[in-house]
Structure 1
Amino acid sequence: MAGLSLVKVAMLTDCYPPRLGGIESQVRDLSRHLVEAGHDVEVFTATTGPDGERGGATTVGDDGVTVHRLAIALPFGVPVNPFARSEVRRRLAAGGFDVAHAHLGVVSPFATDLVPLALDLGLPVTATFHCVIDRSRPVFRAVGHLARWARRGVALGAVSSMAAARVSDAARGARVEVVPNGVDVAWWRTGAAGDAGAAAGVADDGTAVGGGARSGGAVHVVTATRLASRKRPLALLGALRAARGLLDPAVPLRATVVGEGPQRRVLERYVRTHGLDWVELPGRVDREALRRLHHSADAYLTATRLEAFGIAALEARAAGLPVVALRGTGTDDFVRDGVEGLLADDDAGLAAALARLAGDDGLRERLRQHVRAVPPAQDWDGVLEATLAQYHRAGVPVR
């Protein structure tokens, strides 16, 4: 928002790196980008630091973000501290902050407790939901805190249209704006086939990049996900298997499912049992390797249902891949059926859509050309604009 003065932001979040996860990485990256834009950011978190910092320890990272570690010693480093309220109050009151920005999942006791505290101190407050409030909606409505926050001027937000609708319902019809997660679109596109100055097409391990069906090989489908039941990786393997059955046997298909998690052994057993020797489970890879993988592939597949946003799918979309996904998730905000990918209503439809895409070279190329030519709107410049607009809506004055 061009007219908004530079602001000092108190980020309130249960989870923060070094913990791994979507909220953690998005709060870190948002904080970094705000600092790069000239704003001042201090993070208040119940997550222990990389060297065990807790109990109120304060550090300033190389990115210029100050982090207050209000963690306590708990098993497995659970980010909970019911005793932090008075100390956070003291620091917020003395910190000269312009706005407090809470980041919330379905269960976020630390940040949830700090929203009314910040309001009592007279701070403008915005609260962004990174989750799908689904089965918990009746509980949220009964407790009523979201509706009370809205009446007190909290600018409610969520990371996608689907998530925002559920938050609004839980807040008894309160206004909820979409404040999306962000990706570095230029970074994900760098080196992709068709880019000016792209690499010659060979990855570090010597395999071809930009190959797949585009160079006469198998149609290559990629997924990057946590191998946990909430992400439905077993349903994803089922969709791959069903798609293979629907495809002309003459069309070669292969898939790479990147990620780790508690369901890994179940997936390995499924692959062995059903003879899916064309499916690879390489485990977790770094961002550089994932970018190379996306640039070598032909499509991205996700089977997640309760997906508030779909950052992994957006990264693939930014890298130039058409996305095959279920309709009615956060992915709807950056994938339109038949434009940036294919959307389906159920698992059978997901398999049929993937088979259709893999078996139709013209469709696959048309979608790929579009996603390469039209980058997604969820770049960091747009995310910062939406975030600053929320700060203004919460009550931060315009210059």
Structure 2
Amino acid sequence: MRIAHVTDVYLPRLGGVELQVHDLATRQQTAGHETLVLTTTAGGRGPDDVPVLRVGLVGAGPYRKVGARNLAETLQAHGVEAVHAHVSAFSPLAWTAARLAAAGGPPTVVSVHSMWHDIIPLVRRFARWQDAAAWPVQWAAVSSAAASAVRAALDGTPVAVLPNGIDPAAWLLPPAPPTDPVPTLISVMRMVRRKRPRALLRTLLGLRATHPGRFRAVLVGDGPLLPGLRREIAAAGAGDDIHLTGALDRTAIRALLSASSVYVAPAPRESFGIAALEARSAGLPVVARAGSGVADFISHGVEGWLVNSDEELRSTLAALLDDPSRAAAVALYNRSVAPCVRWETVLDAADALYARSAAFLGRRTPA
């Protein structure tokens, strides 16, 4: 089957959606499908293993206007048999692709990659104006938490869960020999407000005040908040205990995870949490916010702990520092039991959604 992944944001721009779309398209090629990516993100150096059509290249940034007629003609010219539209909070190209299904376009799956909880009224108003709930498309979201908001915005329209994919074995390295006598807390995120790196830093500074010299922390990632975070660490004199690495590639992140003790995911509006899943696949216990997408693969007290506030996050980390055997027991479980989310199940679920979207149009998806 020839599948077009339609996404406003894509490589070489870096982010969770960009990497996940690339990885999904690549895995589908390995499984026997033909895939291509349609995006309004301008080109540059990036992988060439998936064909990319960069459309609407007028304007600034990744969000450029593409008319429905032009997009329909492009899909038809490339023999597209199924469309997979990837939507975040603002995705004009992906919304246009989804709307084409109502005008006789190809079978279409619409995957929502973000948490709409804070914008449900806005999205609901737009969806009603577009009559989106009546489109013959299969709606999906990357987690149960994300799906609940999409369902509410679309007035109860059924929304499936299509999680992000991962190869757990690729992250499970032998534990690195400890180089510090104290445990390492680690988090990987873009340094933007939504991911809450500043709240995490202040939690760590508070923990440092009650547990001096009892842990070190490593925060991985780049973004506009990074310089200010570095200034806060310097002002607190915490540079020996809390390290900001900036952006690192997957190989370097794997090595850091293998040498760490606990992974921390502080964002309550985390739609999926691929970095947390990578850490869990590497064997780390995960401490994350309840109600986020992380709860789909972290059960409280089994693969990690789910907390309801920053204060509960701090107290949970303090308890793990006071009793390291608790984290060690969860780490042993995580290293011996692979997570339920893996590429094989994701690809099967995606194929089922393409078939269901074709059934809405009275068609059958090609093999």
Shorter-chain-normalised TM-score: which range?
over 0.9
Superposed displacement of residue 352, structure 1: 0.5
Contact 1:357/1:363, CA 8 A, preserved across alignment:
yes
1:230 is aligned to 194
1:204 is aligned to none
Amino acid aligned to 1:229: R
Match of 1:379 among 337, 342, 353: 342
Superposed displacement of residue 147, structure 1: 8.3
Q: Deviations over 1:302-325 (max 9, x none)?
A: 211211111111111111111111
Contact 1:48/1:71, CA 8 A, preserved across alignment:
no
Amino acid aligned to 1:30: L
2:203 is aligned to 239
2:234 is aligned to 272
**Structure 1: gaps of 5 or more residues:** 1-6, 53-60, 194-208
- How many angstroms apart in 1 are the aligned matches of 2:341 and 2:6? 23
TM-score under structure 1 length normalisation: 0.86
Superposed displacement of residue 95, structure 1: 3.2
1:363 is aligned to 326
Q: Deviations over 1:323-345 (max 9, x none)?
A: 11111111111111111111111
Q: SS where residue 135 of structure 1 aligns? A: helix
Superposed displacement of residue 259, structure 1: 1.2
Superposed displacement of residue 84, structure 1: 4.2
Amino acid aligned to 2:349: A
Tell me which moved more, 257-266 or 346-355. Answer: 257-266
- How many angstroms apart in 2 are the aligned matches of 1:146 and 1:329? 29
- How many angstroms apart in 1 are the aligned matches of 2:45 and 2:286? 39
Report sequence identity in percent.
37
Superposed displacement of residue 62, structure 1: 4.6
Match of 1:258 among 216, 220, 231: 220
Q: Deviations over 1:335-377 (max 9, x none)?
A: 1111111111100000011111122122011110111111112
For the aligned residues, what is the CA RMSD? 2.0
Q: Does 1:163 align with 2:138?
A: no
**Structure 2: gaps of 5 or more residues:** none
TM-score under structure 2 length normalisation: 0.93
Q: Deviations over 1:66-86 (max 9, x none)?
A: 2211041423xx122324433
Contact 2:72/2:105, CA 8 A, preserved across alignment:
no
Q: Does 1:14 align with 2:28?
A: no
Superposed counterparts of 1:110-189, under 5 Å = 110-145=93-128, 148-189=131-172
Q: SS where residue 227 of structure 2 aligns? A: helix
Change in 2 beyond 3 A, CA 1:270/1:176: same
2:57 is aligned to 72
Contact 1:243/1:351, CA 8 A, preserved across alignment:
yes
Change in 2 beyond 3 A, CA 1:231/1:104: same
Superposed displacement of residue 158, structure 1: 0.3
Change in 2 beyond 3 A, CA 1:147/1:11: same
Q: Deviations over 1:196-242 (max 9, x none)?
A: xxxxxxxxxxxxx2426xxx711111111111112111110111122
Superposed displacement of residue 264, structure 1: 1.5
Q: Extract structure 1 runs of 4+ deviating beyond 4 A.
A: none
Superposed displacement of residue 275, structure 1: 2.7
* Matched length: 361
